[in-house]
Chains A and B, each alone.
Chain A
């Protein structure tokens, strides 16, 4: 089943200094159960594309559908969970209350809230930290809490905007393998923005390489690595390095375009 389908999608921001083309002629399908990474330099429109899917930005050309609906309808049906670059936890709420936030808004009963909080906290290995306030947790734990919050209401689609960008490499490795376990356990569809090549190759079943000015897709790579859980050591295999090489080539092609322009 196709979860996301974009056709000739374009988005132009009108600014005081003239138009800025953030996305141009993007064609992409994301199938149920895929882990799709968007990779590219700053300004390539990868975050913008994620925000268009989430109905946080409005496209100015082409069409996009989420589960056969417009992004606005999908948002109103709470079809996706969004994880931002920063944890965006509310500092006056404990971790469990933060995870409960979407459940409160969506009107779940107290009993169901309790169950769902427990299950999502378990999924991100944060059980035992329910009563802590955000400032009492490390950056990595805060970001895990924000993932638990996105998982709490069982949306099938998870949109993640550089969720581990601000974390150090060791924590990042750890969270990447946790995320893959979670992906294998929950059968969700994940769209994941990153600018790290190893992260993209390690996590994804499909890698979308983008280039800036105007933001467009330069390459779509289907991963040959096994789906589901992958050991961190897979990053030293020739197969992994071959995919990483192709991603790097795609990025380089995008850049040379910019230099000639």
Chain B
């Protein structure tokens, strides 16, 4: 019993249970006025139990109850074929593919920038302020501009478009991926600059005594020393990437994806659908971070970390 009480799973489940209780109470508090108003127009005065049950089963609630969201999530994921456009899996995959593409591009860009910054004194002084400034731009405001710009660039009549020959789905994917990249490269740059600079002076001196080239120093010392920093950055980056993909779908009139689902839900007042899309997005984020964590554990173990 004590072991159970001290386990991580128990702690997490306790927290979830507390949150669900709060959620149910909030559903009563937020939905009751609407229901009382409607019932009073019909001349009905409900008793307390009746009111509570109604607040938890109303079909257009201000705040849907957890079980309503759970049932909707279940029905729209597991009860429909993944290719069905009403299936949340279908929308999640659209968003996930943009997320992964942007995450890979962002990580590569971040690592490349960090290597450049660490090896070039001018880049070190000039680039970092711009990189930081890039993240102060409100992404929600510039996302539509960037998405539309890239979409036109990739489908229009120019060299890049002719080289890549993307169809409109592909162009949409890449232009959303750009927003994900924009958000995810930042933690990678910051982490990797620190990581590539993490070797001790004595280790750098050692390689100097061997007359090692800059490339050898990078490959044999700076890169392996930066690996733990890379994974910490990638965990932040992958979550930011998902946010970027959703944000890219929100204001651009996208027809598919979690962002589009959120937007359509809010147009139609379908709060239950909004919430199930939100919950799915957070499950997705959790899974992505967990996958990065698993790769990290395997990598760090192969690099001889203490178990």
Contact = CB atoms under 8 A, between A and B. Distances in A.
Interface of A: 54-56, 75-76, 78, 80-82, 84-86, 88, 90-94, 101-102, 104-106, 133-135
A78 B210 contact: yes
B247 to A, nearest CB: 37
Contact of A105 (B210, B303, B304, B305): B210
Contacts of B306: 135
B202 A88 contact: yes
Given A90-B224, A92-B303, 12 more contacts: A55-B208, A75-B208, A80-B209, A81-B209, A84-B206, A86-B202, A91-B303, A91-B305, A94-B304, A105-B210, A105-B212, A105-B216
Nearest to A97: B304
B263 to A, nearest CB: 47
A138 to B, nearest CB: 15
B6 interface: no
Contacts of B157: none
Residue from A56, A80, A85, A90 with most neighbouring chain B CB atoms (10 Å): A90
Given A56-B205, A105-B207, A135-B306, A92 B224 contact: yes
Interface of B: 200, 202-203, 205-212, 216, 220-221, 224, 227, 303-306
Majority DSSP secondary structure for residues of B touching A:
helix
A92 B210 contact: no
5 contacts: A78-B211, A88-B202, A101-B210, A105-B216, A106-B210
A71 to B, nearest CB: 11
Contacts of B304: 91-94, 133-135
A167 B119 CA distance: 36
Contacts of B206: 82, 84, 88
A75 B211 contact: yes
Contacts of A55: 208
B207 to A, nearest CB: 7
A82 B205 CA distance: 9
B220 A84 contact: no
Nearest to A132: B304
B203 A54 contact: no
Given A88-B200, A88-B202, A92-B303, A101 B209 contact: no
A104 B203 contact: no
B231 to A, nearest CB: 14
Contacts of A106: 210
Contact of A54 (B209, B224, B227): B209
Nearest to B211: A76
Nearest to A135: B306
B208 A56 contact: yes
Nearest to B216: A105
Contacts of A105: 207, 210-212, 216, 220
Nearest to A88: B202
A69 to B, nearest CB: 13
Contacts of A56: 205, 208-209
B212 to A, nearest CB: 5
Contact of A84 (B205, B212, B216, B305): B205
A202 B205 CA distance: 29
B208 A104 contact: no
A147 to B, nearest CB: 13
Residue from B207, B227, B304, B305 with most neighbouring chain A CB atoms (10 Å): B304
A14 B216 CA distance: 31
A85 B206 CA distance: 11
Contacts of A133: 304
Given A90-B221, A101-B220, A75 B202 contact: no
A128 B224 CA distance: 25
Residue from A75, A85, A92, A135 with most neighbouring chain B CB atoms (10 Å): A92
A131 B145 CA distance: 55
Contacts of A84: 202, 205-206
A75 B206 CA distance: 11
A88 B209 CA distance: 13
Nearest to B303: A92
Residue from A55, A86, A105, A135 with most neighbouring chain B CB atoms (10 Å): A105
A56 B205 CA distance: 7
B220 A104 contact: yes
B98 to A, nearest CB: 34
A135 B227 CA distance: 18
Contact of B203 (A85, A90, A102, A135): A90
A93 B207 CA distance: 15
A91 B199 CA distance: 11
Contacts of B210: 78, 101-102, 105-106
9 pairs of A and B residues whose beta carbons are closest in the complex:
A133-B304, A92-B303, A82-B209, A88-B202, A105-B210, A92-B224, A105-B212, A102-B210, A76-B211
